[in-house]
């Protein structure tokens, strides 16, 4: 072969690899409203930044006539590129090749990406669209999955790991995304389940469609498996880019600052009237969050799941933070099993990746009931307590209204290591609400008029922030309109915080 022919041979191989499972299957993929793996990677990364690795890898299977059925790349596109100018590793399962199923070779490519990302300290984004284990390969495929799971775990807390589910993701295959930090799904296009509708029908006789069982709506509102949902693939991939803009590349870096023209000393008069005078009237905590952050730009995580707690990313004076907030307009902002677990996982993510925690508190307590007790609210509530306590990032807490009972302690109180604790004059910090307290103190000894008076007296005496402030549990009582500047001041004061917990193999969070 002369030189020219050699170069042409390479180009031909590259072109062949780029065609994946062939034009017909590509058209089928498009017809079903999906992009190809390669198109997805190009949509995710900054233009012209993708470098592919292992483009010519093939499977090594000799069963079922597979030795004559090889596709260059073997159904997985992998490599690296940039998102907003920063290095990111990426892999995308190519459904046009054996349904994106996972072969041994295919797993080796993913593991290579994972190990490179870990070594270079950059995030991994996985774009999932697969029929699961490559059936022709049997246990070799299972071994490949296990290698990926192992690397997911070793990367956890070191580099951000993000999964976008853009097609089927079933069986044990769901566990790699589940081990990553965030799962994105696409409405009506992506499905996740451990066992599908047919198996469920056989085993439990339940009738369920795959959309009901494992669609984006289910996982973003019922199971809490998914963190973000896009209307289509393009929007979903843009959301992945947005999430990355809030995150450091690894656990040794700080998150990137995004300069803003939103003034740090902005005073917001409208905040004076957000918390209602009547302590039993709900209000939307989003209003406070949106008002105080930079440019009203809030990336909410799991917005449709356990809505009694709000978690998400925002910036103050350009610096990314994690926000945790009770939501009084949903179940009065009570802490229950799902909201505790949702917030605990978020707090641990922020702590692992050096994102300060800003916590807004309006919580009447833990949700009473047999459902909650039988479901283990004790151990699940403890997760949030554990997460806030072990977090060593700067912790700023603002009590807007209620902070009652154990929930006061849990919600990033001074006692579990918050650095700056602020309260509005409307704050009520006490062991329990006035009605409950009077019922217990006076049992049935009061008539109706006396009871109303006793509740009123209790409210005036205890349902305020002044007792806590007199004890130093609250550093300052502030007018709501100054919230933004106080938070920015607190973040500035804590920016060089040095705190580490005692060395240990690992703690024993109540899982």
Q: Could you list the active site residues?
A: 171-172, 406-407
Phi first, then psi, for residue 397 (nearest 5°) are -125, 135
Interaction of residue 99 with ligand HXC, rule CB under 6 A = yes
The nearest distance, CB 314 to ligand HXC, in angstroms, is 37
CB 478 within 8 A of CB 424: yes
Sequence-distant (≥ 6) Cβ neighbours of residue 138 within 8 angstroms? none
Please report how close the Cβ of residue 103 comes to ligand HXC at its closest, in angstroms.
9
Of residues 29 and 389, the one with the C-beta less far from ligand HXC = 29
Q: Which residue has the tokens 């022919």?
A: 5
CA distance 284 to 290: 10
Kindly state whether residue 173 participates in binding ligand HXC, applying the rule CB under 6 A: yes
Taking the least distance from each CB to ligand HXC, the nearer of 104 and 348 is: 104
DSSP-based three-state secondary structure for 127:
strand
Is 145 among the residues that bind ligand HXC (CB under 6 A)?
A: yes
Candidate residues 20, 123, 132, 381; the one interacting with ligand HXC per rule CB under 6 A: 132
* Measured CA angle at 256 (ends 251, 261), to 5 deg: 155
Placement of tokens 């699940």 in the chain: 380
Candidates 35-43, 94-102, 302-310, 484-492; binding stretch for ligand HXC (CB under 6 A): 94-102
Question: Among 121, 157, 171, 318, which residue interacts with ligand HXC (rule: CB under 6 A)?
Answer: 171
Binding span for ligand HXC by CB under 6 A among 98-106, 333-341, 375-383, 412-420 = 98-106
Give the Cβ contact number of residue 416 at 10 Å: 18
* Residue of 126, 131, 320, 364 interacting with ligand HXC (CB under 6 A): 131
Strand intervals (E) in 178-279 = 182-186, 191-193, 228-230
Between 133 and 244, name the residue whose CB sits nearer to ligand HXC.
133
Q: Residues 284, 327: contact at Cβ < 8 Å?
A: yes
The answer to whether residue 101 forms part of the interface with ligand HXC (CB under 6 A) is yes
Relative orientation angle of helices 483-493 and 285-292, to the nearest 10 degrees: 60
Question: At its nearest, how many Å lie between ligand HXC and the CB of residue 21?
Answer: 7
**Is residue 66 at the binding interface for ligand HXC, with CB under 6 A as the rule?**
no
Q: Which residues contact 325 (CB under 8 A, 6 or more apart)?
A: 285, 288, 289, 309, 310, 311, 359, 360, 361, 362
Of 39 and 46, which CB lies nearer to ligand HXC in the complex structure?
Answer: 39
Q: Please give the backbone phi and psi of residue 65, each rounded to the nearest 5 degrees, phi first.
A: 70, 15
Q: Compute the least distance from the CB of residue 51 to ligand HXC, in Å.
A: 28
Are 72 and 52 contacting, i.e. CB atoms less than 8 angstroms apart? no
Question: Looking at 125-133, 236-244, 387-395, 417-425, which segment touches ligand HXC (CB under 6 A)?
Answer: 125-133
Residue 142 sits in the site that holds ligand HXC (CB under 6 A):
yes
Q: Is 134 in the site for ligand HXC (CB under 6 A)?
A: yes
Residue 20 binds to ligand HXC (criterion: CB under 6 A): no
Q: Identify the residue among 98, 313, 424, 458 touching ligand HXC (CB under 6 A).
A: 98
b (16+ CB within 10 A) / e for 375-405: eebeebbbbbbbbbbebebbbbbbbbbbbbb
- Min. distance of Cβ 198 from ligand HXC in angstroms? 9
Residues lying near ligand HXC in the complex (CB under 6 A) = 98-99, 101, 131-135, 142, 145, 168, 171-173
């Amino acid at each position: 072969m002369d030189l020219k022919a050699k170069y042409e041979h390479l180009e031909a191989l590259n072109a062949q690899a780029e065609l994946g499972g062939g034009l017909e299957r590509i058209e089928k993929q498009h017809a079903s409203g999906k992009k190809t793996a390669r198109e997805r990677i190009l949509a995710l990364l900054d233009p012209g930044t993708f470098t592919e690795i292992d483009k010519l890898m093939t499977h090594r299977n000799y069963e079922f006539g597979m030795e004559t059925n090889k596709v260059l790349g073997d159904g997985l596109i992998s490599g690296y590129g940039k998102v907003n100018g920063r290095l990111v590793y990426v892999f995308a399962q190519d459904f046009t090749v054996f349904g994106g199923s996972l072969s041994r070779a295919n797993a080796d490519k993913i593991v290579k990406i994972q190990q490179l990302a870990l070594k270079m300290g950059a995030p991994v984004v996985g774009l999932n669209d697969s029929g699961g284990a490559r059936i022709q390969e049997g246990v070799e495929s299972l071994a490949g999955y296990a290698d990926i799971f192992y690397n997911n775990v070793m990367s956890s807390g070191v580099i951000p790991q993000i999964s976008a589910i853009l097609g089927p993701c079933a069986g044990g295959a769901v566990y790699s995304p589940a081990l990553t930090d965030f799962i994105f799904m696409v409405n009506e296009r992506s499905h996740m389940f451990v066992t599908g509708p047919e198996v469920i029908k056989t085993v439990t006789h339940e009738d369920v469609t795959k959309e009901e069982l494992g669609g984006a709506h289910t996982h973003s509102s019922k199971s809490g498996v998914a963190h973000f949902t896009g209307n289509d693939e393009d929007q979903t991939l843009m959301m992945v880019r947005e999430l990355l803009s809030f995150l450091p590349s690894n656990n040794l870096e700080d998150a990137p600052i995004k300069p803003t023209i939103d003034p740090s000393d902005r005073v917001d008069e409208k905040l004076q009237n957000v918390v209602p005078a009547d302590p039993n009237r709900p209000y939307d905590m989003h209003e406070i969050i949106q008002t105080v952050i930079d440019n009203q730009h809030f990336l909410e995580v799991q917005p449709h799941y356990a809505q009694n707690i709000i978690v998400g990313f925002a910036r103050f004076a350009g610096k990314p933070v994690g926000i945790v907030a009770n939501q009084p307009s949903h179940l009065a902002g009570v802490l229950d099993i799902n909201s505790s677990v949702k917030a605990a996982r978020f707090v641990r993510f922020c702590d692992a990746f050096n994102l300060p925690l800003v916590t807004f508190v309006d919580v009447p307590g833990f949700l009473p009931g047999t459902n909650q007790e039988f479901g283990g609210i004790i151990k699940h509530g403890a997760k949030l307590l554990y997460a806030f306590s072990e977090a060593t990032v700067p912790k700023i807490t603002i009590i807007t209204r209620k902070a009652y009972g154990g929930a006061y302690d849990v919600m990033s109180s001074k006692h579990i290591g918050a650095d700056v604790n602020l309260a509005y004059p409307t704050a009520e910090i006490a062991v329990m609400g006035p009605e409950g307290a009077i019922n217990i103190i006076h049992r049935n000894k009061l008539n109706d008029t006396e009871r109303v008076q006793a509740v009123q007296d209790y409210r005036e005496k205890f349902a305020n922030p002044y007792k806590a402030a007199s004890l130093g549990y609250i550093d300052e009582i502030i007018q709501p309109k100054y919230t933004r500047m106080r938070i920015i001041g607190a973040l500035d004061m804590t920016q060089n915080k040095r705190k580490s917990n005692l060395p240990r193999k690992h703690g024993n969070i109540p899982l």
